[in-house]
Amino acid sequence: MNLVAESDHWKSHHRLRHRVSTRAFNWLSRRRVIRHRPGEQFRIKRHAVAIADLPAAFDGMTIAHLSDLHVGNILRPDHLPAIVDAVNEVGADLIANTGDILDHSNRYLPPAVEALSQLEAPLGVYHVLGNHDYRDDARVVRDAFGEAGLNLLVNTHAPLRHNGGALAVAGIDWAGHPVNIRRLVRHTCEPIEPVDLRILLAHHPHALDTAVSYDVDLVLAGHTHGGQVVIRKNRGGRESLGLGNMRWRYPQGHYVRRRTHLHVTNGVGGSFPLRFRCPAEISVLELRAR
Ligand SMILES: [Fe+2]
């Protein structure tokens, strides 16, 4: 089920915007106005996720959540080995990659696939595509993932077992319009058999709104990059303020609706080469029984 049809006009608009932002960044970097290129700095951010009625088999299970690499002219292929090493060093039970692997073209698809092939976790490494993976030709991306034997979840799920407990790791393809997100979540989650733990990978965090109706315990998403620019942090009951809040319902961090948790990571790369009070990150989630 592919519901995406970005027009050529829209694609060329994005290409122009991308060219302007990367050239400006390169100019600023060479003059040392900006000292560090994205991809060179990221944090490992740990979170505890207390899930209601979580069976003991999953208490302490860890997930490394990677997203929004945007491999291209900003985060370049030579940045990938350090990112891969950092994720592997976490030693998580499961690795989830929630899309935007590429930035604007498939030029760096081979090194991106090569790097992702080196990720290792006992329960496996699972990927979904984001909107930027559609900017060039997503069919080529899917084929490359298939040839490399990577677990790309395209509106499907993988049944797994951990410490004797049954879990399902599901993933939706990039859906574009919110209406399509609802359709893809329904299409993907309805067939999941009864399990002890349901995890859904979705590039767009608004998948949460439908996932709550399908007993999903945890949604992992990216897409927002945390807004990349945060003016005021979320403290003392005050909402944070930044570019993310202006565009998305769930811009960064942790959200809970009914019994479904959502984690939105800031991601590692970015669609423009600036971060302010919103560091690039690899999230590590530890599930805990309440
Ligand atoms: Fe992104």
Q: Cα separations (Å) of 207 from 157, 178, 214?
A: 15, 8, 11
Alpha carbons 91 and 104: distance in angstroms, whole number? 31
d(CA 87, ligand 1 centre) in Å: 18
pLDDT at 238: 55
This prediction has a pTM of: 0.89
pLDDT at 244: 75
Is the pLDDT score of 69 beyond 90? yes
d(CA 55, ligand 1 centre) in Å: 33
Task: Sketch the domain layout of the chain as residue ranges.
Answer: 8-289
Residues 20 and 259 sit within 8 Å (Cβ to Cβ): no
What is the number of alpha carbons within 13 Å of residue 37 lying toward its C-beta? 19
Average pLDDT over residues 250-279: 91
- Cα-Cα-Cα-Cα dihedral sign, residues 20, 24, 30, 32: negative
Average pLDDT over residues 252-272: 93
Share of residues in the chain with pLDDT > 90 (%): 70
d(CA 102, ligand 1 centre) in Å: 9
Look up tokens 């081979």; give the residue: 110
d(CA 70, ligand 1 centre) in Å: 6
d(CA 161, ligand 1 centre) in Å: 31
pLDDT at 34: 60
d(CA 133, ligand 1 centre) in Å: 9
Question: E-assigned strands of the chain?
Answer: 43-51, 62-66, 94-97, 125-127, 151-152, 156-162, 165-171, 197-201, 218-221, 230-232, 241-242, 253-257, 260-264, 281-289
pLDDT digits 0-9 by tens, 186-199? 999 999 999 999 99
pLDDT digits 0-9 by tens, 156-185? 999 999 999 999 999 999 997 778 999 999
What's the fold here for domain 8-289? Purple Acid Phosphatase; chain A, domain 2 (3.60.21)
d(CA 98, ligand 1 centre) in Å: 9
- Cα-Cα-Cα-Cα dihedral sign, residues 173, 176, 117, 120: negative
- Cα-Cα-Cα-Cα dihedral sign, residues 168, 153, 112, 228: negative
- The number of angstroms, rounded, from the C-alpha of 266 to the middle of its chain's C-alpha atoms is 9
Higher pLDDT, residue 36 or 118? 118
pLDDT at 271: 78
d(CA 272, ligand 1 centre) in Å: 10
pLDDT digits 0-9 by tens, 105-154? 999 999 999 999 999 999 999 999 999 999 999 999 999 999 999 999 99
Those residues whose beta carbon sits under 5 angstroms from the ion ligand 1 are: 68, 100
